[in-house]
């Protein structure tokens, strides 16, 4: 699914440096912390069997230097095809210097293939390459210390449940998220696992729209479990 995003990340820009304003959860184990330096977003073009590409890079920036990462490009046992290794190396050397390029990229990239290269400290020696994983269509962060839906992918299960951008997430499956992004991710994983085992059609999520009472919504599950755009905040 390729959504059209009105908002991607809460970014700030200082000269040619783009950083994150407040914590954002991009997959079940990775929280981008304030000050994390954004480098580039990509999908692996060379991996498409039909030869198609999903993203024309919006801006290549300055090739400051070769960025290194702590993890190898492969496990040392399987050698990457030359064209894929070359493409990944190109992304390692790429720097987007304008915040809007990340917005444009998020509007085009398939959500199940997106990668982000960033630096937690702003140093080139600790570049990290992470794949995105949305929570049934939710992009979640902490703009004011509370676990909040920053955006909801149109047509996603979260969208069908009626969750809106800006809603605070109070609990998932009855498990309080305790204003903590990783606690939210763990509650989400436990709830989905239980739903799969119980073969139910949906799971509960308690949310609160600012200025309103907490409400419980039912997030539907894919039929297989039982037998676009994101709205900006």
The model's pLDDT over 55-101, given as tens digits with 9 standing for 90+, comes to 333 333 333 333 333 344 444 555 556 777 777 777 777 889 888 88
Residue 10 has pLDDT above 90, yes or no: no
Q: Which residue has the higher pLDDT, 233 or 58?
A: 233
Q: Which residue has the higher pLDDT, 2 or 169?
A: 169
Q: What is the pLDDT of residues 189-214, one digit of tens each?
A: 999 999 988 989 999 999 999 999 99
The reported pLDDT for the residue numbered 50 is 52
The reported pLDDT for the residue numbered 209 is 93
String of DSSP letters for 92-125: HT-----HHHHHHHHHHS-TTT-EEEEESSS-GG
Q: What is the pLDDT of residues 129-141, one digit of tens each?
A: 888 888 998 999 9
Residue 102, classified by CB atoms within 10 Å of its CB into exposed (0-12), middle (13-18) or buried (19+), is buried
End-to-end CA distance of the chain: 21
pTM above 0.85, yes or no: no
Q: What is the pLDDT of residues 157-183, one digit of tens each?
A: 999 999 998 999 999 999 999 999 999
Strands (E) across 6-60 are located at 11-14, 17-20, 24-27, 30-32, 37-42
User: Which residue's entry shows tokens 């991996």?
Assistant: 47
- Using CA atoms, how far residue 201 sits from 86, 91, 184, 190, 195, in Å, is 44, 41, 21, 16, 8
Residue 113 has pLDDT above 90, yes or no: no
- Nearest alpha carbon to residue 90 among 61, 53, 131: 61
- Domains of the chain listed by start with CATH number: 4-131 (no CATH), 138-230 (2.30.42.10)
Q: Are 132 and 106 in contact (CB under 8 A)?
A: no
| Cα Rg of the chain (Å, integer) | 18
Q: What is the pLDDT of residues 48-57, one digit of tens each?
A: 555 544 433 3
Residue 119 has pLDDT above 50, yes or no: yes
Strands (E) across 173-226 are located at 175-176, 202-208, 214-220
Tell me how crowded residue 70 is: count the other CB atoms within 10 A of its CB. Answer: 9
For 178: left if phi > 0, alpha if psi spans -120 to 50, otherwise beta; the answer is left
């Amino acid at each position: 699914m390729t959504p059209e995003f009105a908002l991607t990340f809460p970014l700030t820009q200082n000269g040619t440096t783009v950083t994150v304003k407040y914590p954002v959860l991009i997959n079940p184990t990775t929280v981008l912390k304030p000050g994390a330096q954004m480098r580039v977003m990509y999908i692996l073009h060379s991996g498409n069997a039909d030869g198609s590409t999903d993203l024309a890079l919006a801006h290549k920036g300055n090739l400051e230097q070769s960025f290194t990462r702590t993890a190898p490009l492969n496990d040392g046992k399987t050698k990457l095809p030359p064209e894929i290794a070359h493409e990944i190396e190109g992304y390692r050397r790429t720097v987007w210097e304008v915040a809007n390029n990340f917005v444009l990229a998020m509007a085009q990239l398939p959500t199940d293939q997106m990668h982000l290269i960033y630096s937690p400290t702003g140093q080139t020696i600790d570049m990290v390459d992470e794949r995105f994983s949305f929570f049934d269509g939710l992009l979640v962060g902490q703009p004011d210390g509370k676990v909040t839906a920053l955006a909801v992918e149109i047509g996603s299960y979260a969208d069908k449940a009626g969750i809106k951008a800006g809603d605070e997430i109070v609990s998932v499956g009855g498990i309080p998220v305790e204003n903590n992004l990783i606690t939210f991710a763990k509650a989400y994983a436990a709830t989905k696992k239980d739903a799969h085992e119980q073969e139910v059609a949906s799971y509960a999520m308690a949310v609160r729209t600012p200025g309103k009472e907490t409400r419980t919504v039912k997030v539907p599950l894919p039929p297989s479990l039982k037998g676009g755009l994101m709205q900006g905040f």
